[in-house]
Amino acid sequence: MEGVGPGRTAPLPGPVLAVADDGTVLVRANGQVLIVDRTMAVRPLIGVPAEDAPGLWYALSPSGKLVALSGSSDTTSLWQVGNPEPTVLDAGPVVGGFEAVSWGAPRFLGEDTLVTHHTEGIVVWDLARSAARCFLTDPLIHVARETFDLGMGRAAVRSGSNSPGVSNASLVECSTTDCRVLRRLLVGAGERHAVAAAGETTFILLSGAMRVIGRSGETRVVTLPTASPHALRAFQDGALVWAADAADGAAILVGVMDPKGLRSSLVGRLPTGSSIVRTWVAEGRVHAVEQRGALHTWPAPDLSQASGIEAAVLGNDALAREHAILELAAAGRTEAIAALSGPDGVAPSNRFFEAYLRSLVTDEAEPAFLARLARDGIRFRGEAPVLAVVEDLARSQAWAPACDLLFYWMQDASPCSLPEAAVPIALELALQLSEADQDQIRGTLIRKLGKLYPNDARVAEALSAIDAG
């Protein structure tokens, strides 16, 4: 990607609480909530509390004329800038038997629509009526953490959980009109991500890559020189502005990518130690707001002159596997089997996974299962496609099937006979087992690794921890 252009930095009066689409910024300073407009004029917001406490989240509407505040309660307060009296939105009656306490910052999807986040779902509010439009719940939403506006009446919901599970690794894309689930996407657990859309194409910024997902699910993975993402935003002509830690951890990078995910240009490099909470383009300049209180700008690049970037198409077999993992968590084993079957049947790389799922559906005993594998010519011991399935399951925190398949993959293997690529996957699974209070399975797995990888320092360290514990 191209080099960094000349930039400008303007300090803000205090730490950033929220940023509007038009560039208006909400900050906390001197015990007050202040609003800073695009001309950098500052005025206090009367009536809006300024407590610096965990569990308080602010949001600004796209025009900067509405402020929302959610706390660790069922209610969200809504102010018109200049009016100290709030409107109170109570999620309790809307979510029914679910817990209504807020778990993340509210999100405006326009001047008339607000999303609030709760245990197992989101509420979409019609602000013109000060009433709920709909309530979205889904098996993959354990605690709703964040909503990304995809435009065209769509949004993507990021979930989370305190224990390992596929909810930590997925996005639920929904309609903001009636809260229908449109599709579920697997993004991988344990890493931050940011989401935006240009037309019907969805972009997911991950560590080291951007996923570009078309309307029908076709997916390309674009390589970027980045680590943990900070922000992603589409602007008027469909191009995207992204911010993420550099791969070497030495800086925060800000860049622009064309709407097809074919070209990207680096525009800014910032010191580490803070986070970028919003990016956008206006008046020919790229803007990035830093959480600790600064606005950075650079000239917008000409992407037609930018060099191409490396991208790979995600194969149908891998997409089917991801869909099956989501269905396994959200719907069940039968639906997961159906997800693996494409127009040409089950891909060879997924045949063992499908056979395993069928054995669960029929409650097949292990001797009969192994006999069926032999009869159908399905190889699994030490096979690379099976390890790829284990890796996808582990990345998704689907630890129970991941452990089953890994033990089959290691079955009857001799010491030092298996590839070392399995070690980090297995140790990640061991960590998930510990967090899921499955210490007996964790101990069995690590001791098995000790026999198969007697010279691996990582395995030796894990064995020492087991013995010490």
pLDDT digits (tens, 9 = 90+) for 14-56: 999 999 998 999 999 989 999 999 889 999 988 888 877 777 8
Q: Round to whole Å and give the CA distance between 342 and 360.
A: 21
Q: Round to whole Å and give the CA distance between 266 and 261.
A: 14
Contact 122, 135 (CB under 8 A): yes
Say what the pLDDT of residue 359 is: 97
Q: How many CB atoms are closer than 10 A to CB 422?
A: 20
| Residue 145 DSSP label | E
Which tokens in the block code for residue 214?
């078309």
Say what the pLDDT of residue 236 is: 65
Sequence-separated (6 or more) residues with CB below 8 Å from residue 318: 392
What secondary structure, in 3-state letters, does 58-116 show? EEECCCCCEEEEECCCCEEEEEECCCCCCEEEECHHHHCCCCCCECCCCEECCCCEEEE
| 413: confidence class by pLDDT, cuts 50, 70, 90 | very high
In whole angstroms, how far apart are CA 219 and each of 205, 212, 317, 349? Answer: 13, 6, 12, 18
In whole angstroms, how far apart are CA 218 and each of 164, 185, 409? Answer: 28, 12, 30
**3-state secondary structure (DSSP) of residue 231:** strand
| 335: confidence class by pLDDT, cuts 50, 70, 90 | very high
**Mean of the pLDDT values across residues 401-414?**
97
Contact 242, 232 (CB under 8 A): yes
pLDDT digits (tens, 9 = 90+) for 266-292: 999 999 988 999 999 888 899 999 999
Q: Round to whole Å and give the CA distance between 434 and 444.
A: 12
Say what the pLDDT of residue 372 is: 97
pLDDT digits (tens, 9 = 90+) for 432-456: 999 998 999 999 999 999 999 999 9
Say what the pLDDT of residue 161 is: 84
Q: Is 60 exceeded by the pLDDT of residue 5?
A: no
**What does the buried/exposed string (b/e) look like for 189-216 if buried means 16 or more CB atoms within 10 Å of the residue's CB?**
beebbbbbbbeebbbbbbbbbbbbbeee
Q: Round to whole Å and give the CA distance between 299 and 117.
A: 36
Q: Round to whole Å and give the CA distance between 358 and 333.
A: 8
| 1: confidence class by pLDDT, cuts 50, 70, 90 | very low
Instruction: Residue 65: name the closest of 45, 93, 89 by CA.
Output: 45
Sequence-separated (6 or more) residues with CB below 8 Å from residue 371: none
Which pTM was predicted?
0.91
Contact 140, 125 (CB under 8 A): no
Q: Round to whole Å and give the CA distance between 274 and 230.
A: 10
Instruction: Residue 418: name the closest of 359, 357, 459, 377 by CA.
Output: 459
Say what the pLDDT of residue 467 is: 82
Q: Round to whole Å and give the CA distance between 274 and 161.
A: 25
Single-letter code of the amino acid located at 392: D
pLDDT digits (tens, 9 = 90+) for 128-177: 999 999 999 999 999 999 999 999 999 999 998 888 999 999 999 999 99
DSSP 2-68: ------EEEE-SS-EEEE-TTS-EEEEETTEEEEE-TT--EEE-TT------TT-EEEE-TTS-EEE
Contact 148, 156 (CB under 8 A): yes
Q: Is 70 exceeded by the pLDDT of residue 319?
A: yes
Q: Is 70 exceeded by the pLDDT of residue 251?
A: yes
Contact 234, 279 (CB under 8 A): no
Say what the pLDDT of residue 130 is: 93
Q: Round to whole Å and give the CA distance between 119 and 136.
A: 11
Higher per-residue confidence, 264 vs 453: 453
| 400: confidence class by pLDDT, cuts 50, 70, 90 | very high
pLDDT digits (tens, 9 = 90+) for 383-392: 999 999 999 9
Q: How many CB atoms are closer than 10 A to CB 82?
A: 11
| Residue 166 DSSP label | G
Q: Round to whole Å and give the CA distance between 371 and 44.
A: 74
**Mean of the pLDDT values across residues 214-236?**
90
